[in-house]
Amino acid sequence: MMDLLNYKPEKEFSQKHLLRLSDYTPDEILQVLSLALKLKKQMKEGLRPPLLAGKILAMIFTKSSTRTRVSFEAGIYQLGGTAQFLSGNDIQLGRGEPISDTAKVLSRMVDGIMIRTFKQSDVEDLAKFGTIPVINGLTDLLHPCQILADLLTYYEYKGSFSGKLAFIGDGNNVANSLLVGCGKLGLNMTLACPEGFEPDAEVLAAAKEAAAQSGAQLVVTHDPKEAAENADAVYTDVWASMGQETEAQEKYKHFTAYQVNEELTSLCKKDYIFLHCLPAHRGEEVTPGIIDGPHSVVFDEAENRLHAQKAVMVLLMQDKKP
């Protein structure tokens, strides 16, 4: 068993942003997760230390979301700060104004930026041209905040980052970041997807490089049974991500054999947990019996978005001690 709550950092946390998990060392990821556990424990005890008192987080959404907005907004308030919501109508990234100008203006008015958008390059340009922390709330390529919550949930149920996680479905932004997170922390992962829907090649290469250091085994297969075999956790996501609604019906033809159901999970370990980043489409990527059954931890996982992101904000936005 690993004592994550009392984790002793190897080095001082030095990251300025959260753009992609591959930028973080295993030690830095564990620092985030350890602080998330501490903040969660404090909240359950009725304590809300104002670690970000007076801080302002600008939240840019060109892609709408329930969990991302509520978790970041509630999180910054619980830490003593405030949030400003900027929708795609309020801010026209790269259209009405160059991203470099947006980054420079916001840097003079707020203390951090969280952005949920389409292009990964937009997130990285905000960080490049601004002088304040930038947090990637989701792009078409990556979803690092979700994976921090997933890893926290896995630890809470399994007590360590050993074992095997199976991801069944599209090699999308969640799968991309999950490969990196598992590779960094030494958690074996097998991803099963239809041909033509594999994870991003560059991200997979970075994940395998991390896995070579941690000892994790990362496997991409087209056989969902191979992935589910002896798994400690099974994870899926919607077959058509936000923005892909027009191609949804075409995609579904490829994914029918990749549903997480009672037959597939019978191959997992008896005490497996079921993960899903939500929103879920019952009867498509997962059956109601699985997502609403005794192995499902999806609402703990959703709650952990709050705690993981609070930890990220504290580590990135808190005034550094002289």
Q: What is the side-by-side strand order in the sheet with 56-61?
A: 82-87, 56-61, 112-116, 134-138
The single residue of 145, 182, 193, 277 carrying the catalytic annotation is 277
Ranges of beta strands (E only) in 14-159 are 56-61, 82-87, 112-116, 134-138
* Catalytic status, residue 116: yes
* Catalytic status, residue 200: no
The single residue of 146, 182, 232, 259 carrying the catalytic annotation is 146
Burial of 251 (0-12, 13-18, 19+ CB in 10 A): middle
Burial of 12 (0-12, 13-18, 19+ CB in 10 A): exposed
Of the candidates 255, 177, 258, 200, the residue with the CA atom closest to the CA atom of residue 225: 258
DSSP state of 246: G
* Catalytic status, residue 307: no
- Residues 253 and 240: their CA atoms lie apart, in Å, by 12
Query: Pairing mode, if any, of strands 164-168 and 112-116?
Result: unpaired
- Residues 310 and 71: their CA atoms lie apart, in Å, by 8
The single residue of 125, 305, 307, 309 carrying the catalytic annotation is 305
The single residue of 111, 122, 200, 237 carrying the catalytic annotation is 237
Of the candidates 22, 1, 26, 23, the residue with the CA atom closest to the CA atom of residue 11: 26
User: By the 8 A CB rule, do 315 and 35 touch?
Assistant: yes
* Catalytic status, residue 276: no
**Helices and strands in the chain, H and E counts:** 12, 9
Of the candidates 311, 317, 320, 319, the residue with the CA atom closest to the CA atom of residue 12: 320
The single residue of 20, 69, 116, 276 carrying the catalytic annotation is 116
What the block records as the tokens of 69 is 């907005």
The single residue of 143, 276, 295, 307 carrying the catalytic annotation is 143
The residues carrying an active-site annotation are 116, 143, 146, 237, 277, 305
